[in-house]
Chains A and B, each alone.
Chain A
């Protein structure tokens, strides 16, 4: 029987802004595919480093969750102080990124299984979903000014933040697939 593959970016019904909902649908598509592609990963695969100084899949998964919470706070929630421990149970630096040259993965992620990382991602999405769903069309044009950790200024807008959440997830998701491939064929 022929198969049917449907790929439609449709904003969820419970959002106030169609445009914000489109970004949310894009994030959900990323998560659905990321989840599917990571099902077979063991704790050893999640903690595997191609070499010292390089990220593990586990670090990347934690990083995706942390960054999603961070940008939700900067953009949709318009906070001026940022933390993710109350949302995820881990802090902003607990992904260990950026790893120093020759660095090893953070001890806090050692031995964690896929369920741990799934939970981080699910918590991040619950948090961002609530905030993005509340955005109006007028909010989408809002400009946001913040001071970065290094003291430099960042002038951005809500649209860029939502776009960045999607492209950031995609970049690391594809890296995870590359690392998983490299892990499978290592030593071959």
Chain B
């Protein structure tokens, strides 16, 4: 029998809003393929840099978790500031991005294994899911106004927050796959 692939985007149960549930399905699908692609990576793989000043896979995994935790707090929950250290055990400084030119990876991530990064990601998702389950369809249009430290006023709606979480994880997942490829091709490092 020929192999069969099934990809059906459906609203998982337990959410107040089918539209929000479908966003969470997309987030979970992103996570499924990210976890698939990172199995077998050693601590050395996770902290490898193609060149000084470039992100490691570990930094990108930490950044995905950090960004999701931050966005779910200030975006979905509408908090004035986030406390990602309390939520997932990692602060903005510890994730280490953006990296300064010529800098090594964030020392806070040194030596951690894949299980440590998996747990970070899982804690961020658990929080996002808990908050998302309470949101209604109408909440997706809700606008959030934030004043950034540089004086910029940031306006976004909750639909954008979910979209950004998805594209952000998809984008960095793409970079992680490229870094894995570069790691296998030593001649490709700068």
Interface residues of A (CB under 8 A from B): 2-9, 19, 22, 26, 29-30, 50-51, 53-54, 143, 148, 151-157, 159-160, 163-164, 166-168, 170-175, 177-179, 181-182, 185-188
Contacts and interface: CB of A to CB of B under 8 A. Distances in A.
A-B pairs with the 5 shortest C-beta distances?
A: A171-B174, A174-B171, A51-B188, A159-B9, A50-B188
A7 B175 contact: no
9 contacts: A2-B152, A22-B163, A51-B185, A51-B188, A148-B5, A167-B166, A170-B170, A171-B177, A185-B53
A188 B8 contact: no
Query: Size class of B's contact patch?
Result: 35 or more
B54 A171 contact: no
Given A2-B152, A4-B155, A156-B6, A175 B143 contact: no
Contacts of A26: 163, 167
A179 B190 CA distance: 11
Contacts of B58: none
B51 A185 contact: yes
B32 interface: no
B175 A175 contact: yes
B115 interface: no
A188 B178 contact: no
A177 to B, nearest CB: 8
A181 B164 CA distance: 22
Contacts of A29: 163, 167
B40 interface: no
Interface in B22-67: 22, 26, 29-30, 50-51, 53-54
A19 B157 CA distance: 15
Given A30-B167, A153-B5, A171-B170, A50 B153 contact: no
Contacts of A186: 190
Nearest to B150: A3
